[in-house]
Structure 1
Amino acid sequence: MNYESAQRWLDDYIAAWLSFDPALIGALFSDDIAYRYHPYDEPYRDRDAVVASWLGEGDDQGGASDVDEPGTFEAHYRPIAVDGTVVVAQGVSSYRDTPDGPIVRVYDNCFVMRFDDAGRCQEFTEFYVQRPASAE
């Protein structure tokens, strides 16, 4: 991985999240993905489980969020460190209650990821914190 390929993957991650298209989601991850919404979670251990989790289906291990209504989510992430197959990214996710409404929640995110030779994510761990309203 390099910064450009990591940024492309992050852009594809956002596009997949916005689309909730199972094929786009699945294309991001290797067959043997270990995916954590929080660093303390037991990981989802295969691509189908991750896709189901993103779609709000299947066995919820306590991390998956609901499917966002179109127009209520936006995000911007960028790689801040790339070391071989390991990428650390940071960014911001913003949510609205309604598509035309004001932003009501903002999260600062950090992703720690490891990629396979095909550029698919094999390990994904998310760290995030909701910004206090006074900091927005």
Structure 2
Amino acid sequence: MDRRDVDSWLRGYVAAWKAYDREQIESLFADDVSYRFHPYDEPVVGREAVVRAWLGESDHLGAPTRDDPGTYDADYTTVAVDGDLAVATGTSRYSPLPGAPADRVYHNCFLMRFDAAGRCREFTEWYIKRPH
């Protein structure tokens, strides 16, 4: 993986989040992925479990609820790549209604490890809400 590969993966991540499309989400992750929504969470393990969590079909602690269409957006950029390990930062923005200005902005940091096919096999997210 190089920066371009990781940046492409991150664009796919945002597109899959916006679409909530099962196949798009599946394409991002290895079969045996270990995914942490917060660094202190027990990981969600396995691609199907991650897909269910993304789609709001999971009762895993730490899994998010499904966001309403048009109420969120994000931009993430690769900071560093070392072999199969990558770090990215960016922002996630949420608005109360589609088309409304963002009322919540989060700064994110992702720690990711990829397999030889470019699918993520380890993912950990850190985020902090920007104060108003």
TM-score class normalised by the smaller sequence: over 0.9
What's the TM-score once normalised by structure 1's chain length?
0.95
- Which amino acid in the other structure matches residue 40 of structure 1? Y
Structure 1 Cα separation of the partners of residues 125 and 111 of structure 2? 7
1:40 aligns with 2:20: no
Q: Per-residue deviation at 1:58?
A: 2.3
The runs of 4+ residues in structure 1 deviating greater than 4 Å are none
Q: CA separation in 2, counterparts of 1:94 and 1:38?
A: 18
C-alpha RMSD of matched pairs (Å) = 0.7
1:59-116 Cα deviation digits (max 9, x unpaired): 222x222211111111000000000000000000000010022211000000000000
Matched, 1:94 2:97: no
Q: Secondary structure at the match of 2:45?
A: coil
Kindly report which structure 2 residues correspond to 1:29-108, keeping only aligned pairs within 5 A, or say none.
Answer: 29-61=29-61, 63-108=62-107
Number of aligned residues: 132
Q: Percent identity?
A: 53
1:17-56 alpha-carbon deviations (Å, 9 max, x no partner):
0000011001100000000011110001100110000011
Instruction: Give the 5 Å matches for 1:108-123.
Output: 108-123=107-122
Distance 2:58 2:80 in 1: 33
Q: Determine the C-alpha separation between the residues in 2 that align with 1:85 and 1:100.
A: 37
Amino acid at match of 1:24: Q
CA distance in 1, matches of 2:74, 2:58: 25
TM-score by structure 2 length?
0.98
Is contact 2:54–2:63 with CA below 8 Å preserved after alignment? yes
Aligned to 1:25: 25
One-letter code of the match for 1:127?
W
Task: Find the aligned partners of 2:87 and 2:5 in 1 and give their Cα distance.
Answer: 13
The 1-side partners of 2:59 and 2:65 are apart by 13
2:130 maps to what in 1? Answer: 131
Q: Any unmatched runs of 5+ in structure 1?
A: none
Gaps of 5+ in 2: none
Q: Name the CA distance, whole Å, in 2 between partners of 1:13 and 1:100.
A: 21
